[in-house]
Copies of this chain bind each other. A is one copy, B any other.
Amino acid sequence: MSEVADFPPSGSDPAMARRIQSRVTSFDVAALAGVSQSAVSRAFTPGSSIAEAKRQRILEAARRLNYVPNSIASSLTTKRTNIVAVILGNLANPFYVEVLRTFIARLQAQGRQILTFTVDNGADSDEAILRVLRYQVDGVILTSAQLSTRMTSICHDRGIPIVLFNRYIPGSDASGVRCDNTGGGRLMAEAFLAAGARSFAMIKGDPKGTTSQDRVRGFTERLIEAGIARADIGEIEGQSTYDGAFNAVLGAYRRKPERLPDAIFGINDIMAMGAMDALRQRMGLKIPDDVMIGGFDDIPESRRHPYQLTTVRQPVGLMVDEALSILHLDEPAQPIEMGIDRQVPGRLIWRSTIPTPTASSED
């Protein structure tokens, strides 16, 4: 049926059939344009000394040859890759998707590339860091928890800055940016108190995550200060996911509805949403009439109709900007800043899972 030459034409070189052709290099462009290789390099390096007319001639030659500079080769001499590594723990949580989106948007706008890694929740990031090191990235963003101090010092020795995002390592001098999670926990406690709650529960996430710990601590502290008895502050453990919270709530209250508190603080929005669905759809409860719910993060889903979750917003854009500024990508000669721990405050967003004491103030 089909003849030999039935491959669709691709409109390109006839010599393309084999893979790994001799690539077009700056020498080829130089030859075509009648200049030296140095000139070609200069034509593609902004701010270098080259006559405009010559640059144009070179660019034209490059265009004709479909020449694209080889960043790998140039990285070898400049010792800059323009690559930033982003190591993520948990893309199942929309908050971290938002974080990733923001990092990508910012870095891409700066002309940098993003090397993305995921690390199983709770697993340690050492292997990812090692891989990152091989690629000589200009900086590392780490949103995943575990990181050995050995790794931080190796990175430091090699001059690669790391920023912990919404994490910190107690006793380490690794720099980081985070939301004021403790303060945010306090905000949520105050919101519940203002709405008249007297008994409470928290759905905690990963017990090793500082994020969860801090929110729990701030929340608890504030309640104690307000005179709430420890006995009236319950804790539920669950996987840090929608399903984890859903099941944890069912496990805790389905058989003992009498233990249900006035208010439940989901340590992040996705868990608060899981809790809400369990309480409403499986236990037939009304929110906030039967139980109040609070979350943390303010992911886009939280404002959607089924949830309308009252939550603490993390200013992601700001946090990302802070993180990137700590990296000092533009001044690689600067010594790495260590021991920085920038905290940005969260903000309570009133929606409808906690009755508003006075007037609503959504946004």
Contacts and interface: CB of A to CB of B under 8 A. Distances in A.
Interface string A58-93: 000000001011111101100101010010000110
A135 B153 contact: no
How often does this chain occur in the complex, in copies?
A: 2
A136 B71 contact: yes
8 contacts: A8-B339, A10-B149, A18-B335, A19-B159, A20-B159, A21-B158, A72-B72, A277-B304
A136 B7 contact: no
A255 interface: no
Nearest to A69: B134
Given A8-B338, A149-B11, A118 B101 contact: yes
B16 A136 contact: no
A230 interface: no
A356 interface: no
A12 B153 contact: yes
Interface of A: 7-8, 10-13, 16-21, 23, 66, 68-73, 75-76, 79, 81, 83, 86, 91-92, 94, 97, 100-101, 104-105, 108, 113-118, 130-131, 133-136, 149-150, 152-154, 156-159, 171-173, 242, 273, 277, 280-282, 300-301, 304-307, 332-336, 338-339
A335 B19 contact: yes
A156 B280 CA distance: 55
Given A66-B157, A173-B7, A117 B104 contact: yes
A104 B76 contact: no
B135 A118 contact: no
Contact of A21 (B21, B69, B159): B159
A156 B10 contact: yes
Given A7-B339, A70-B136, A113-B135, A154 B305 contact: no
